[in-house]
Structure 1
Amino acid sequence: MFVDRDHPLEELPEGLLAGFGTPELVLTLVLTPERRLARTDAATVLAALDEKGFYLQLPPQPGVAPEAAP
């Protein structure tokens, strides 16, 4: 899950936290729209952070082709 470090985790939707479990910081990134990410593009993540305050990235489903990154 990507979250903005300036927003408290308590502001995330209760249902999301209930299904996600206890969050634990594993990595800090500086995102710019041009940054390349493995499973999505940074512009998508940044837009979700602005709109919802988080971006949830799930593991790939077996047998489903990943989306092509721009």
Structure 2
Amino acid sequence: MLCAIYKSSRKEGMYLYVEKRDQFEAVPDTLRQIFGQPIFVMLFNLKGKKQLVQASNQDVLAHIQQQGFYLQMPPLQESLLAQHKKQYLS
């Protein structure tokens, strides 16, 4: 199954996967507002041999089939304070 992948115009590292290109009807309005203008990245075959980097193809496919979309959040980053403490207090 092909899906379309979009990146957020507002939040770096946030991606939205939908079943068909430019089909956002299943995405809640609140999420669309937070996500901003979707920027098309690519089409991706979820049943192909190539694997996604930050999510499993099977999880993304299941979410798209159940709710019509999959939202990939940016990875959590350690706070600067925590980094400082590790560097100087270890």
TM-score range normalised by the length of the shorter chain: 0.7 to 0.9
TM-score of the aligned structures, taking structure 2 as reference length: 0.60
Q: State the partner residue of 2:59.
A: 44
Give the distance between the partners of 1:56 and 1:11, measured in 2 at CA.
Answer: 12
Return the offset for 1:11: 3.6
- Contact 1:35 1:41 (8 Å CA) reproduced: no
Runs of at least 5 residues in structure 2 that lack an aligned partner in the other structure:
1-15, 79-90
1:22 is matched with which residue: 24, 37, 42? 37
Larger radius of gyration: 2
Letter in 2 for 1:4: E
Residues 6-50 of structure 1, C-alpha deviations (whole Å, 9 max, x = no match):
672134211110110011211111111764211111000000001
Letter in 1 for 2:32: L
Alignment RMSD:
2.0
Return the offset for 1:62: 1.3
Aligned length: 63
Question: With CA pairs under 8 Å and 6+ residues apart, which has the higher RCO, 1 or 2?
Answer: 1
Give the distance between the partners of 2:52 and 2:26, measured in 1 at CA.
Answer: 25
Tell me which protein shows more strand as a share of its residues. Answer: 2
1:3 is matched with which residue: 15, 18, 32? 18
Runs of 4+ in 1 over 4 A off after TM superposition: none
Q: State the partner residue of 1:55.
A: 70
Runs of at least 5 residues in structure 1 that lack an aligned partner in the other structure:
64-70
TM-score of the aligned structures, taking structure 1 as reference length: 0.75
